[in-house]
Amino acid sequence: MRVPFKENFQKLHIRFALLKKFLPVGSLVIATLVYTLPGYAQNIIHVKGRIVNESGQPVSGASIVVKGSGTGVTSQENGSFEIDAAPKEILLVSYVGMITQELKVSASPLSVTLVSQESGLNQVVVVGYGSQKKSDITGSVVTVSSKALQETPTANIINSLKGRAAGVDIVSNSTAPGSSGQIRIRGNRSLVQEIAGNPTATAANNDALNAPLLVVDGIPYGGSVNDLNPDDISGIDILKDASATAIYGSRGSNGVLIITTNRGKSGKAVMSYNGYFGLTNALDEYKGFNGPEYAAFKDEAKAGNSVNPGTSNYGLSADETANLANGVSTDWQKLIYRQGYTTSHGLNLSGGNESTLFSLSGGYFREVGIIPGQDFTRYSLRTTIDHKISRRLKIGLNTMNSLAYTNSGGNPVGGLLRMSPLTLPYNADGSLNLLPLTGLLDAATVNPLTIIKSAGSIVNNNRRLRTFNSLYGEWEIIDGLKYRMNLGLDYRQDQSGSYLGPNTFYNNSTSLAQASESVGNAEAWTYIIENLLTYDKTFKEKHHITFTGLYSVQKDHNQASGIYGTGIPADYIQNYNLSLANTVSANTATTNPWAFSERGLISYMARLNYAYDNRYLLTATVRRDGSSVLSPGNQYFTYPAFAVGWNILNEKFMNNAGLFSALKLRGGWGLTSSQSINPYATLGLLGTNAYNFGPGTAGQNAGYLVQTLANKALKWQSTAQTNIGLDFGILQNRITGSIDVYTQRTNDILLPESLPASNGAGSTIVNAGKTKGHGVEVGISSINVRTPGGFTWSTDLNFSISREEIVALQDPTLKFDLGNGWFVGQPLSVIYDVKKTGIWQTADSAQAASFGQKPGQIRLEDISGPGNDGKPDGKITADDRQIIGNFQPQWEGGLTNRFAYKGFDLSIVMFARMGMKVVVPYLMSDGGAQGYDFFNNGRVNSLKRDYWTPTNPSNKFPRPDAASDGTNYSSTLGYVDGSFIKIRNIILGYNLPSQWLNKAGISSLRIYFSAQNPFILYSPFVKDGYGPDPEGNGYGGVSTSTVGGTPVPGRAITVNLTAPSTRQFNFGVNLKF
Amino acid sequence: MKPKNLTLRIYLVAAVMLASGISGCKKILEEHPRSQITPQFFSTSGGILGGIAGVYSDMRNLWGTEGFTNMCVGGVDEDLVGGSGNPNFFTYKIVNGDIQPLWNIAYQDINTLNGVLEFGEKADIDDATKTQYLAQAKFLRAFYYFYLVQTYGDVPLHLDFITTASTADSRQPIKDVYAQIIKDLTEASADLPAKPAAPFLGKAATQPVAFYLLAKAYLTRGWSSAAESDDFKTAYTIASQIIQDKDNYGLGLWPDFASVNIKANDYGQETLFVIDHSSDTKYGEYTTGQFAAGPKENKTNFFFRPNYPTMNGNYPATGGGSIMTRDINNGRPFIRVRPNGPYLLHQAFADRVNDSRYDNTFQTIWIANTPGASTPRGSLSVGVDTAIWMPDSATAAQAALRVPAFKGAIVPPGPTGSWTPAFYPSLKKYDDSTRASLNDASTRPFVMFRFSDVYLLAAEAYFKAGDNGNAAAMLNVLRQRAAYKATNTPQENADAVIAQTILPSDVTLDFILDEYTRENYGNCQRWWDLVRTQSLIRRVQMYNPEAAANIQPFHVLRPIPQTQIDLVTSGPAFPQNPGY
């Protein structure tokens, strides 16, 4: 800030009067400010006090100055100070990185809590290949501090980021222990459904194409975020706009998450311990019919049989009839779900002297899921060293190692919901009723309780070892000119295994010859070599130039293998010795783990930052990337970006604008891309299978089929983005924030184009299609209340609106591509199907009959005749399909409120996603592999719902029909409003007074209780009883539409029957020595 | 700092950067796949053989799967929908969603075969091997086009390997498609070996198979709007030639119809062409202990089974507890397809005394397998008592009730001859009791053509050419064979042969179609047989109460899959068949 602090402060005072006049809304905030007029000395008071930071640790070296005089002292190591002042004088307490406070002189001891100036302009922000002061940044960057991340202790940082930054959208895609979410910065850009070369990994690929780049300590980070111990992270900087991300060129278009880890600090070695323990319980069950309701449903299915009315293959068994009479209604889910727990312990030691800094940390994390057999355990160990060899030469190493064990068990939820509530889990003698469905079609189903009783027969585990190392050497060649070499070495290895013994819920065969077992191994490594040259110089005091040049080479390698066996001599052998299996093979009919892929990237980058007089800022970047995955001749692409910034506050004419403590306008344009295709995608692909000519081994042959056509002309897709933003700070940064507006266009999108089947191959990859997006993002932090008594209330609010849209498809004249589910002018994923308008009622039976339907069946909107002529033709056909909705929220936001008083702190984190659809596959059934098998025919139990009967004219769900598993048009039942507002976390902490701790040699101790996902404030999905949580937990499973075609693309997140979301109560400790 | 020193340092840095860069620069952008196979592989001997094996393997995605079985036997005169079946094909209410697999698989395979034919011509392998491989490819291409043209009418006709993606396509007249089928099969039949030879062992395509399909192509074209004058004559000429050369081909009829569909004879003298399956997880693409989860398994052993495990002791009254449990021998009940009782009992299998084929086609007796099971007539001892009996008439049922020793449940046909959606005689030709686990799919090959089909084909061709004498002669071969019962005395068998013999005047189209049912009930051919003979609408209206009300004249062609229409996004729109 150009204006000397004292001077500015007085001007601020004058401004207040004006502000009150003009901004009545703001006056509420202002009224709460602690503010008094300077006074004159009368008699002198000897003031004593102690300064601590937000977490209650003493602040040493803080400056305490009597305002308007030159007198001042600094605080001691334990934070205490003593100063003489007149009664009406004001004390200014300041410390680097903290917000300055004013205090009335008082005779009683003062307790001062300094709050960090996190959002202040002097904050240093990591921007990729360097860092800048926040005031110098021209791009759109959000910083999330470690403190904010720690407010939501979870297995990984992605989960902690939920609702914390505007424009960063995180959606759950699994509920298994240790799972992370799907993260999108400013929406989707790539139109991908499936990628050649890896047709099985649809959703994962889609995620890889739209997920942001992760960079840990400067090195791009691939693979699972679960390998990172959140305790080791000191902050995350999220680069959102192209002017900021263009330096990552071919990987920058989806945004960049720059993760910085803790490093040693000079001074006395500090040891800290962070730990918590929490209990988890299911938010709720998927509610099925109870016993009598189930029987009634079966009866109705019989009555409603559309082929042979009054008949059913799915009547009650003799046992069920008896149990119904005895009032049996077994809740199978309740019998299986257990209380889970999460525990985390981290120990950190850091310190150093002028030449060497170090930090050591060890972590242990364990999450035990609510489904028996599901848990996640991680051990992590980390060391950093930074050493100055000479005045000009520095080297450093960060080595992060983790070992993670994931036990996935199985997913019994769908099976549990299907179980008949009219059956008994135990026999009369207390033993397990092994085959509770005896006498029914599903008689072979084994009791779900075998998941617990026969846990040794169910193995599904993964052991992952990762070592992520970054090594650097930095040489200051002359003052201002530095050469730095970064070496990134990353190795990850996964060993997986499974065993499913007979007589269990997951494998109901009765013989050990039918046991199945497998072992798998996958390894991946990445190396990256970066050469960086930076030059930093200020000319004639006002011209500040920073130049960065880069040349880097990166190579990624992936390799996997696996063996499957059938039959084993004894359960206890599990998958430890596949040589004992009856048969062994290298893949199954559906899984082939054998994979190999490599990709290489060569990059050149140059960036110039120029600042004039701290007022005008310019950033210009150019990057050129060459990638192995594209066709020779099209491998290189150049990415330019420009951005300007204007620190308005530093203009002379703003000298009187005391209201603002920061004000900066910035704008930028840039071009980026994403690594959108898999290696070898340009080469075409033969699918493999196998065949035996005749029964003997002599006729066994490997087989091949043309699956994907080659494309020799593939080139990069690119995204151009324009961003305009305003950063501001008001009232000494009591209120800070930023507003960003952006638009982006993506061209030459790499996408697998589905081909008409008659052309021989399902798809090929083309550069086609254009998408655009725009949005507004607002982030505001404010200190609402701060009283001299030490009470503070602060708020972080973020809000964003993001819109994505397809502009053009593979052929510019094309308005839609039904096979791929793309529509020009619509978001990237939509639901395209016939539209349910209700259920046919008895009174309308004549009209229903004209559509070939009966009362009780699904009523649909007839909008068009043949050729999409737009005229209803009295038939429901493919021409009646329309866009039912999409998955893009109308808005989303997060709100964090923090309260602190004396040693107590309380924070409440909320987030909301509003106005999008969610797809629920277990409400639909196509009689094939998708949806919920036997949804409406009464064979098995299903979600309790309001179905039509002659006496219950519901418009929600059709009449049960024993004749048909594939209920016609049932796909239309599963499109539901997915909006929600949730309390993400409530945390209450207490810093024990230091006088209690000092004797024990403890410098600070905070204990806290937290409640994660305590409740959902608003969700029509939950209210209507569709499930415990509207957030997605997987992909796919959606029925095909009865009129033909797939109504929902496989890339869309869906709500499936997996472990219900949980509520967690934690107790934790933060301890520092 | 001295300028000279500075320059030196900058040079040094530049040198380090270059050194670390140049080393990997070019190489790192080259691609070397190691776990995937690219189309170039077709230019090798292994690639050509692999392409053919790949197509045979892909056929497993159709024959033996539920969706395709529905398409073969749903909505015909023989069958009704089972209690758990999908009524779409069976009732002609909605047929849109399910017709996709045949189209998609056929064209993917045709493109692969086009690749094999194109690269194969130039491949560096010996001529004998090359001839054999290319003949297989031509046979398979014709095979798929034959199914396509019969199912959809005009279809795209691609004969070159497609290497450039296109979103345009158009349909060619059936005349051109038949011409190509006949050309391919003529060439294939010239080059294929008389008997199966390595590497195409088992019952893959051989010369008589190609001849059979060629004769059938002529026969089918003869019925169609693209008919040429000698089609029926050519058809019976080729068929008679196969019969004449049967010893040379190693073909023949089993003397007892009971031997025809048993597992031991799957690769025997009467089998012409099969799609192979095995319990091998790799080459059989088979899963065990996973509820037959593999998409390419032969599950015909599930579909035709009634819901026998839910048969209750007090049947036909409620209560009494179930008297059977699922087991390997009786199979896994999917209850998808049930026989159309009135047609079978009163028409096709009306003579169940002289003709052994009803008894050899259906399982009507279930022996008790559940300890403690009982009916009001007594308790059933496992392995001894009959637990369920499905007699072919109500009279027989009445008679059984008077036998004191008979304690099982009796399920007679209703007044019109129909059984219930859940309980009906079970088709036994697909049974496989050697599976490791109850839920496992069949390990038997799916028999697509039998030698007896040649006689039926010849009969139909002679009949259409106006030669009822030879038509009757062909049918009599099968009918007389069917007269034999191992339990009969020689005299009884001789009498049955006489009773089974027909006269030329007995031969009508409907008689031939009934004969197809007697010989082939449950084969994956019925729908096409009825379409070819222009009898689908008439016979469905005559015999099938579930479909009669819905079937329309346009149903003789299946609709073009909606995805095909949706994905043709350039050039003229891809036309749908009329009526859909």
A234-289 per-position pLDDT tens digit: 888 888 888 788 888 887 778 888 888 888 877 788 898 999 999 999 999 999 99
Find all residues with CB under 8 Å of A461, minimum gap 6, and list them: A405, A406, A407, A408, A496, A497, A498
Specify the amino acid at residue A294. Y
Q: In whole angstroms, what separates CA A476 from the centre of its chain?
A: 39
H helices present in A225-372, as ranges: 242-245, 291-303, 318-325, 332-336
Q: Tens of pLDDT along A573-615? A: 999 999 999 989 888 767 778 889 998 999 999 999 999 988 8
Out of A307, A440, A585, name the one closest to residue B546 (CB).
A307
**How high is the pLDDT of residue A49?**
84
Task: Tell if the CB–CB gap between A685 and B37 is shorter than 8 Å.
Answer: yes
Percentage of residues in chain B having pLDDT higher than 90: 73
Please state the φ and ψ torsions of residue A701, each to the nearest 5 degrees.
-140, 145
Task: Tell if the CB–CB gap between B307 and A629 is shorter than 8 Å.
Answer: no
Cβ-based neighbour number of residue A391 at 10 Å: 7
For residues B516 and B456, give the distance between their C-alpha atoms in angstroms, rounded to a whole number: 7
Out of A306, A438, A693, name the one closest to residue B200 (CB).
A693
Query: Quick one: B132 and B4 in the same domain?
Result: yes
**B481 DSSP assignment:** H
Task: Tell if the CB–CB gap between B165 and A764 is shorter than 8 Å.
Answer: yes
Q: Does residue B73 fall inside a structural domain?
A: yes
Q: Does residue B494 fall inside a structural domain?
A: no
Query: Quick one: B229 and B366 in the same domain?
Result: no
As a whole number, the mean pLDDT across chain A is 84
Q: Residue B136 corresponds to which tokens in the numbers above? A: 């297989």
Query: Quick one: B131 and B33 in the same domain?
Result: yes
The four Cα atoms A277, A278, A279, A282 give a dihedral, to 10 degrees, of -150
For residues B251 and B156, give the distance between their C-alpha atoms in angstroms, rounded to a whole number: 36
**How high is the pLDDT of residue A1039?**
84
Which chain A residues are closer than 8 Å to B290 by Cβ? Answer: 507, 516
- A633 in the Ramachandran plot: left (φ > 0), alpha (ψ -120 to 50) or beta? left
Task: Tell if the CB–CB gap between B17 and A685 is shorter than 8 Å.
Answer: no
Q: Does residue B116 fall inside a structural domain?
A: yes
Domain count, chain B: 2
Q: Residue B390 corresponds to which tokens in the numbers above? A: 């499905």
Nearest residue to A174 via CA among A408, A379, A343:
A408
Out of B41, B109, B169, name the one closest to residue A756 (CB).
B169
Does residue A119 register a pLDDT over 50?
no
CB pairs under 8 A between A and B: 404
Task: Tell if the CB–CB gap between B566 and A699 is shorter than 8 Å.
Answer: no
Tell me if chain A has a CB within 8 Å of the CB of B108.
yes
The verdict on whether omega for the bond into residue B559 sits within 30 degrees of 0, i.e. cis, is no
Q: For chain A, what is the largest distance between any 2 Cα atoms, rounded to a whole number of angstroms?
A: 110
Task: List the pLDDT tens digit at each of the 580 positions of chain B.
Answer: 444 565 666 566 666 655 555 555 668 888 888 888 888 788 888 899 999 999 999 999 999 999 899 999 999 999 999 988 888 889 998 766 678 889 999 999 999 999 999 988 888 889 999 999 999 999 999 999 999 999 999 999 999 998 788 889 999 999 999 999 999 999 999 999 999 999 999 999 999 999 999 999 999 999 999 999 999 999 999 999 999 999 999 999 999 999 999 999 999 999 999 999 999 888 998 887 667 888 899 999 999 999 999 898 888 888 888 899 989 999 999 999 999 999 999 999 999 999 999 999 999 999 999 998 999 989 999 999 999 999 998 888 888 888 888 899 999 998 888 899 999 999 999 999 998 888 899 999 999 999 999 999 999 999 999 999 999 999 999 999 999 999 999 999 999 999 999 999 999 999 999 999 999 999 999 999 999 999 999 999 999 999 999 999 999 999 999 889 988 888 899 999 998 8
Q: If DSSP codes are grouped into helix, strand and coil, which group holds residue B174?
A: helix
Q: Does residue B62 fall inside a structural domain?
A: yes
Query: Quick one: B213 and B321 in the same domain?
Result: no
Exposed/middle/buried for residue B277 (C-beta within 10 Å: 0-12, 13-18, 19+): buried
The verdict on whether omega for the bond into residue A640 sits within 30 degrees of 0, i.e. cis, is no
The alpha-carbon gap from B538 to the nearest alpha carbon of chain A, in Å, equals 22
Task: Tell if the CB–CB gap between B566 and A1045 is shorter than 8 Å.
Answer: yes
Q: Is the dihedral of CA A924, A926, A930, A936 positive or negative?
A: positive
For residues A492 and A584, give the distance between their C-alpha atoms in angstroms, rounded to a whole number: 27
Nearest residue to B191 via CA among B250, B132, B141:
B132
Cβ-based neighbour number of residue A881 at 10 Å: 24
How many helices (H) does chain B have, and how many strands (E)? Answer: 21, 11
Cβ-based neighbour number of residue A257 at 10 Å: 25
Find all residues with CB under 8 Å of B268, minimum gap 6, and list them: B254, B259
Nearest residue to A308 via CA among B83, B304, B415, B345:
B83
Task: Tell if the CB–CB gap between A1044 and B563 is shorter than 8 Å.
Answer: yes
Which chain B residues are closer than 8 Å to A809 by Cβ? Answer: 569
Domain that holds residue B330: 299-429
Query: Quick one: B409 and B532 in the same domain?
Result: no
The alpha-carbon gap from B84 to the nearest alpha carbon of chain A, in Å, equals 6
Task: Tell if the CB–CB gap between B37 and A688 is shorter than 8 Å.
Answer: yes
Q: Tens of pLDDT along B432-445? A: 999 888 889 999 99
**How high is the pLDDT of residue A787?**
84
**How high is the pLDDT of residue B566?**
84
The mean per-residue pLDDT over the stretch A710-725 comes to: 84
pLDDT band at A765 (very low <50, low <70, confident <90, very high): confident
Tell me if chain A has a CB within 8 Å of the CB of B2.
no
Task: Tell if the CB–CB gap between B87 and A306 is shorter than 8 Å.
Answer: yes
Q: Name the residue in chain A with its Cα closest to that of B41.
A: A686
Q: Tens of pLDDT along A978-1009? A: 999 999 889 899 988 877 777 778 888 889 99
pLDDT band at A204 (very low <50, low <70, confident <90, very high): very low
The mean per-residue pLDDT over the stretch A440-454 comes to: 91
Q: Does residue B307 fall inside a structural domain?
A: yes
Stronger pLDDT, B163 or A371, i.e. the higher one: A371
**Does an H or E element contain B145, and which?**
helix B127-152
- Select from B391, B413, B429 the last residue of a domain: B429
For residue B51, what is the domain's CATH number? 1.25.40.390
Query: Quick one: B94 and B193 in the same domain?
Result: yes
Query: Quick one: B310 and B223 in the same domain?
Result: no
Task: Tell if the CB–CB gap between A962 and B570 is shorter than 8 Å.
Answer: no
**How high is the pLDDT of residue A178?**
65
**How high is the pLDDT of residue A693?**
96
B95 in Cβ contact with A750 (< 8 Å): no
Task: Tell if the CB–CB gap between A317 and B333 is shorter than 8 Å.
Answer: no
The mean per-residue pLDDT over the stretch A956-975 comes to: 90
Which chain B residues are closer than 8 Å to A680 by Cβ? Answer: 31, 33, 36, 38
Whole-model pTM over 0.90: no
Query: Quick one: B216 and B319 in the same domain?
Result: no
Q: Does residue B413 fall inside a structural domain?
A: yes
Task: Tell if the CB–CB gap between B103 and A757 is shorter than 8 Å.
Answer: yes
Q: Tens of pLDDT along A505-519? A: 998 888 898 899 999
Stronger pLDDT, A584 or A188, i.e. the higher one: A584
Q: If DSSP codes are grouped into helix, strand and coil, which group holds residue A984?
A: strand
Query: Quick one: B170 and B63 in the same domain?
Result: yes
- CA-to-CA dists, residue A951 to A841, A856, A954, angstroms: 10, 11, 9
pLDDT band at A206 (very low <50, low <70, confident <90, very high): very low
pLDDT band at A128 (very low <50, low <70, confident <90, very high): confident
Exposed/middle/buried for residue A222 (C-beta within 10 Å: 0-12, 13-18, 19+): middle
Tell me if chain A has a CB within 8 Å of the CB of B549.
no
Q: Name the residue in chain B with its Cα closest to that of A584.
A: B281
Tell me if chain A has a CB within 8 Å of the CB of B545.
no
Task: Tell if the CB–CB gap between B29 and A600 is shorter than 8 Å.
Answer: yes
pLDDT band at A1038 (very low <50, low <70, confident <90, very high): confident
Q: Does residue B414 fall inside a structural domain?
A: yes
Stronger pLDDT, A327 or A41, i.e. the higher one: A327
pLDDT band at A175 (very low <50, low <70, confident <90, very high): low
Which chain B residues are closer than 8 Å to A682 by Cβ? Answer: 31
- Select from B405, B429, B453 the last residue of a domain: B429
- Select from B362, B396, B429 the last residue of a domain: B429
**How high is the pLDDT of residue A1012?**
86
Percentage of residues in chain A having pLDDT higher than 90: 42
Query: Quick one: B186 and B320 in the same domain?
Result: no
Q: Tens of pLDDT along A811-869? A: 777 788 887 788 999 988 899 999 999 999 999 999 999 988 889 999 999 998 887 78
Give ipTM to 2 decimals. 0.92
Which residue pairs from B489-495 have beta carbons closer than 8 angstroms and sit at least 24 positions apart in sequence? Answer: B495/B354
Q: Name the residue in chain A with its Cα closest to that of B16.
A: A531
For residues B209 and B178, give the distance between their C-alpha atoms in angstroms, rounded to a whole number: 17
Query: Quick one: B229 and B108 in the same domain?
Result: yes
Q: Does residue B506 fall inside a structural domain?
A: no
- In B, residues 217-276, which contact A (CB 8 Å cutoff)? 266-267, 276
Does residue A40 register a pLDDT over 80?
no
Does residue A549 register a pLDDT over 50?
yes
For residues A574 and A593, give the distance between their C-alpha atoms in angstroms, rounded to a whole number: 20
Q: Residue B44 corresponds to which tokens in the numbers above? A: 């090798």
Which chain B residues are closer than 8 Å to A686 by Cβ? Answer: 36-39, 41-42, 54
Query: Quick one: B329 and B424 in the same domain?
Result: yes
Optimal mutation site among A559, A693, A964, interface B, most CBs of chain B within 10 A: A693
